[in-house]
Amino acid sequence: MFNITKIVQKFIMAKKVHIISDFINLQKNLSHYIYVCCTTLAILNYIIVHCYNVLVLFPSVHSNCNNSNGNENIYEQFTKNCVVNISDVTLSSAEIDLLSKGLNFCPTPGEPDFGEIRKDLDSFHTRLRQKNYFAEQSGPDRDREGEMPTTSDTPDPGPLPFHHRKFKKKSMWAPPGPKTLEAFITSNDTALNSKKSRAPHFHNLTKEEEAAIDSLLNNPKIMIKPADKGSAIVVMNTQDYIAEGENQLQNPDFYIEVPSDRTKKHKEDVDLVLDDMLDDKQISQRCHQYLSEGGLRTPLFYMLPKIHKNKIPPPGRPILSANDCPTERISGFVDHFLRPIVENTKSYVKDTTHFLNILSTYKNLPPDTLIVTLDVGSLYTNIPNDEGIQAVNTFLKENRNENEYPKNSYLSKLLELVLTKNNFEFNDKHYLQVGGTAMGTRVAPSFANLFMAYFEKNM
């Protein structure tokens, strides 16, 4: 068990003086009762974070100590300010301070780029004009603007090609607005044109931390990644990171190495199916244009180190960076139809609040009741493609009209492309995933949820 007294003492000694000083100023304006409550909450918050770090961040055991009792927090000796350095490189205090700010920390930019500011301001003004123009339009007809409405005298044309503003290119059309709006836009333009360019007076990094950015970026011996769980930043040897990745990719049940990049070929396969959907009037011209645009970037394979496991080097959670890959947009398109089905499955849990609300509906449970959870190891990669598609087809048939556009058969074809045209690059080598679905593609959570729902239903 944790010694709360020691943790509170560590809170005082860990240079958290700025928090205490803030509450001293707060005390001058608030009652003593509120002051005590705020101080107590701050201390409790630190205790919770500290206990979380001990329980989740540091439960790993060094490979040389894998035969120990497993209770030693071996990662703690490599950790400082939430930076876990398990590499052979000694980090300077400036490098540690820089990394402790988090990988999403934004350094103070230099002299502003007025070209980018002008571009952003024009985009903002365009959105204002569009919103004003379409302010009186609402309802489902807004998604099908420009199409001829049907009347009782017009023969029913049957199902219309699928069209949704979510799946069309953003329009840059800027209709003129009312005088008040145009005056506001003119005022913004005048203010920007009269603004003089100057570099910021203050920076949120020291000179040592700014130098640390270059030293960390240009060091080929280390790999810096966020931890799979928790808020730690992990610094590990590049050779250990590559060895873990290649070890995972050597499993022929899930991955095979291919001699060349298949991105262009996969893009052509996707476009063929989209062309068939357009010719069959399953999707609108705008939807087809959106889905077939881009898609020529090769996905990149990377891993998040699982430091909550008791191993060094830690195993990695495989993820694909699949932005602008051949299947990115069709993956989001299929997910658009699967996600509402997932939300209607029996075991669907949206988040923690939803789970607590479900528990509150069970009254007068016996005192010896046990709440049991089940975890599937490496679920995404362990789902057989054929069985997963079969599960999705079953739910599509149960929840959608067969005559509804796009037809379920086309959604199934697109899903098959997402699962089978999953190529990527790692360490200058090209691979193809032949089993399961990758973490990183939009439809993966819905696909996995429907597979598990199908599994539960047929147990």
Q: Is 146 left (phi over 0), alpha (psi -120 to 50) or beta?
A: left
How does pLDDT run across 343-400, given as a tens digit for each residue? 999 888 888 999 889 888 888 888 888 888 888 888 888 899 999 999 999 999 999 9
Beta strand spans in 201-265 (E): 222-226, 233-237, 255-258
Q: What's the pLDDT score for residue 154?
A: 53
Q: Which two tokens stand for residue 61?
A: 């055991």
> CA 110, 116, 122: angle at the middle one, nearest 5?
145
Alpha carbon distance 281, 160 (integer Å) = 8
Q: What's the pLDDT score for residue 339?
A: 95
Nearest to 163 by CA among 271, 338, 285: 285
How does pLDDT run across 413-448, given as a tens digit for each residue? 999 999 999 999 999 999 999 988 888 899 999 999
Distances (CA, A) of 300 to 62, 71, 175, 429, 432: 29, 36, 41, 10, 12
Point out which residues pair with 439 in neighbouring strands. Answer: 441
Where residue 283 falls among pLDDT bands split at 50, 70, 90? very high
Q: What's the pLDDT score for residue 136?
A: 59
How does pLDDT run across 144-186, given as a tens digit for each residue? 443 444 444 555 556 789 998 889 888 888 888 889 999 999 9
**pTM exceeds 0.75:** no
How does pLDDT run across 194-210, given as a tens digit for each residue? 888 787 888 899 999 99
Where residue 311 falls among pLDDT bands split at 50, 70, 90? confident
Q: Which two tokens stand for residue 99?
A: 């990394």
Q: Which two tokens stand for residue 445?
A: 């959570």
Name every residue whose Cβ is closer than 8 Å to that of residue 122 and which is 6 or more positions away in sequence. Answer: none
Alpha carbon distance 50, 77 (integer Å) = 15
Burial class (CB in 10 A: 0-12, 13-18, 19+), 57: buried
How does pLDDT run across 80-96, given as a tens digit for each residue? 889 999 999 999 999 99
Nearest to 441 by CA among 425, 426, 419: 419
3-class DSSP assignment, residue 429: strand
Name every residue whose Cβ is closer than 8 Å to that of residue 159 and which is 6 or more positions away in sequence. Answer: 403, 404, 405
**Phi, psi at residue 437, to the nearest 5°?**
-120, 155
Which has more confidence, 413 or 117?
Answer: 413
Alpha carbon distance 450, 452 (integer Å) = 5
Average pLDDT in the chain: 82
Alpha carbon distance 270, 292 (integer Å) = 8
3-class DSSP assignment, residue 315: coil
- Specify whether the CB–CB gap between 256 and 434 falls below 8 A: yes
